[in-house]
Amino acid sequence: MLPRRLWAADTRFRRRRPSDAAWPSKAAWKRLNEAVGGNLAPVKFPLSVLKTDPDGAAAKALWENLRNPYYIGGNPGLTQTLGWVDAWTTKPSVYMVAARNAHDIAAAVNFARENDLRLVVKGGGHSYQGTSDAPDSLLIWTRHIHDIAMHTGFVPQRCEHAVKPQPAVTVGAGTIWMQAYDAVTTKGGQYVQGGGCTTVGVPGLVQSGGFGSFSKHYGTAAGSLLEAEVVTADGRIRIANACTNPDLFWALKGGGGGSFGVVSKMTLALHGLPDYFGAASFKVKAASDGAYRRLLREFVSFYRENLFNDHWGEQAHVNPDNTLDISMVSYALDTEQAKKVWQPFLDWVAHSPHDYSLEGRKIIASWPARPMWNVGWWKEHWPEMAFPRNGNPLHALIDDILVHVMHEPILDFDQRPGAKPNNAWWTGDEGQVGWFIWGYESLWLPASLLEDGAQRHLADALFRASRYAGIGLHFNKGLAGAPPEAIARAKDTAMNPAVLSAFALAIVADAQGPAYPGIPGHEPSVEKARKAATRIDRCMSQLRALVPNPGSYVSESNYFQKDWQQSYWGSNYPRLAEIKKKYDPDGLFFVHNGVGSEDWSADGFTRL
């Protein structure tokens, strides 16, 4: 009989499923369980209760919990995104290893390789494209590896003569960003560049590149990676940094999670914290299509002159109802400085009261940066948030911060019995919890579109696009306008170089949720979804026409992305493909539209 590798080359190698005679025996699974300290277990599917007892108390509680990202994140049988119409639906693995350390991960990797199993890895479970989910697979669940260590002078291994000591933080593979921010900012008074969504896993975000609210100043999360401990397909526990396995290190910085190995811990550089973070939140309504075109042209010009710098990030939404919704954050500006920046634009709006009006509440305010992720600080002022405090500017400021323009709280909390007090998330991220995606596309917009001769074309394209769907302009997800040092760090990553010259990432998406196929009353609407996907494509096509070489962000993009190798990684893809062959020649690690996935069937089971 031919060796497995030769046999795989000569025929269509197929990974094993539970229905196959060659599926590992009970004795084999028992040996794996012993190797990982009893942390192997079957994976239960919580949604099954919705079919077996749809009207029971357990089903009712489940629907409530499906809006809680901490419940989902703490359950190995669920992912935060429940699926994508005509693409994928979350389904549990057969078994999972609840890994405690790199040795548990290595044991699971070796078992999967030796038994030809489909392997998936999950920490945060936020993947829109289902990359931490696969039926008939073995799951490596890293959620319990969340130790955090602060360093005053970290030097990567074997880099003693090449790199100066610097402040850093080492986090386990299951750490989410709320835990990292609590340790680094709330307790440590420093900053680590991570994600805006508090429940996203650290390694997944870093391996995809990683943007947060303040990336316009600090750059990408991948740009701050100093070192990683990673288990490769041969089961070896390796250190990857600029001096040891530098090619693997580079691939982990934006090459996509789940393709090159299983990260067990990461060390990230720390940065200084400003005196203030802040927000600008308001909505402008145009009375006619013509007025809306003029509004968009004015905003594009205003952005270029006043906001195109590292002080401003997050979003502006261009909506089909002729509204421009500003939901931006500021870095290192006090309230008066922030208000001064926006006043010319607000004056322009006010000068035409028949054409424009402000809807809801206008907030332009700043607050001390250190309590940004201090849940106790927010909760302390929560009961009184609707009542101005006489003469105390900090209290009045808190009132502004704690509510959206519609007087809704900006934080929500895990209210399950026994939940940790720091379990909180921004309400702006709630729409992603338990959602079923209808369509999702992204596009980096180059800064050349802000030049004098191109501004009108950009504004008019935004207007045309908004006739089909709303567009979110995520200014913090394009690095044009960032400081040179942030650009330099990002340039030394595997991300598509288009991010370096983009002023924003345009995102168009639609979904419903919580929803799941086969659950009466809660099924995703396939008809509406397909219509929405068509609208999203037509919307984005108006913007793609402006961009000669369109690029998309791998973590926030279309499941059906065409030319994904070029779109996600551009000129870096050939190098990534070579690194993949070096460290994972047999393709043990597979994710949808990941490096090397073109060699496999869509489900990752059959080599093409």
pLDDT for position 408: 59
pLDDT for position 381: 60
How confident is the model over 62-72, as a mean pLDDT?
A: 94
d(CA 216, CA 567): 21
**Helix and strand totals (H; E) in the chain:** 19, 20
DSSP secondary structure string for all residues of 441-507:
EEEEEEGGGGSTTTHHHHHHHHHHHHTTS-EEEEGGGS-TTS-HHHHHHHHTSSS-GGGGGEEEEEE
259 within a domain of the structure (yes/no):
no
Nearest to 126 by CA among 39, 207, 184, 48: 207
Predicted confidence band of residue 521 (pLDDT cuts 50, 70, 90): confident
Q: Which of 90, 123, 142 is the last residue of a domain?
A: 142
* Contact (CB, 8 A) for 348 and 543: no
339 within a domain of the structure (yes/no):
no
Burial bucket for residue 386 (CB in 10 Å: 0-12, 13-18, 19+): exposed
285 within a domain of the structure (yes/no):
no
Buried b or exposed e, range 509-544, using 16+ CB within 10 angstroms: bbbbbbbbeebeebebeeeebeebbebbbebbebbb
71 within a domain of the structure (yes/no):
yes
pLDDT for position 303: 98
pLDDT in tens, 196-240: 999 999 999 999 999 999 999 999 999 999 999 999 999 999 999
* Contact (CB, 8 A) for 254 and 194: no
pLDDT for position 12: 84
Burial bucket for residue 406 (CB in 10 Å: 0-12, 13-18, 19+): exposed
d(CA 75, CA 73): 6
* Contact (CB, 8 A) for 505 and 553: yes
Q: C-alpha distances in angstroms, 213 versus 314, 315, 499?
A: 6, 9, 16
Q: Which of 142, 164, 196 is the last residue of a domain?
A: 142
d(CA 415, CA 408): 18
pLDDT for position 11: 61
Write a three-state SS string for 106-159: HHHHHHHHHCCEEEEEECCCCCCCCCCCCCCEEEEECCCCCCEEEEEEECCCCC
235 within a domain of the structure (yes/no):
no
At residue 607, the 3 state secondary structure works out as: strand
Q: Which residues lie closer than 8 Å to 25 by C-beta, 6 or more apart?
A: none
How confident is the model over 113-138, as a mean pLDDT?
A: 97
Q: How many structural domains is the chain composed of?
A: 2
Residue 425 lies in domain = 374-434
CATH value at residue 43: 3.30.43.10
55 within a domain of the structure (yes/no):
yes
400 within a domain of the structure (yes/no):
yes
Q: What is the mean pLDDT of the chain?
A: 93
Nearest to 544 by CA among 476, 477, 423, 458: 458
* Contact (CB, 8 A) for 349 and 284: yes
pLDDT in tens, 247-271: 999 999 999 999 999 999 999 999 9
399 within a domain of the structure (yes/no):
yes
Element containing residue 246 per DSSP (H, E): helix 246-252
pLDDT for position 573: 98
* Contact (CB, 8 A) for 183 and 370: no
The two structure tokens encoding residue 587: 């393709």
Q: How many CB atoms lie within 10 A of CB 344?
A: 12
pLDDT for position 202: 98
Give me the half-sphere count of Cα atoms (radius 13 Å) on the Cβ side of residue 390.
Answer: 0
Write a three-state SS string for 47-85: HHHHHHCCCCHHHHHHHHHCCCHHHHHCCCCCCCCCEEC
| pLDDT for 598 beyond 60 | yes
What pTM value is reported for the model? 0.94
Nearest to 232 by CA among 369, 121, 307: 121
414-419 own/partner pairs: CB under 8 Å, 24+ apart:
414/68, 414/70, 414/71, 416/65, 416/68, 416/70, 416/71, 419/70
pLDDT in tens, 446-473: 999 999 999 999 999 999 999 999 999 9
Q: Which of 94, 115, 142 is the last residue of a domain?
A: 142
Amino acid identity for residue 175 in this structure: T
Q: How many CB atoms lie within 10 A of CB 581?
A: 14
| pLDDT for 328 beyond 80 | yes
| Upstream peptide bond of 483 is cis (omega within 30 degrees of 0) | no
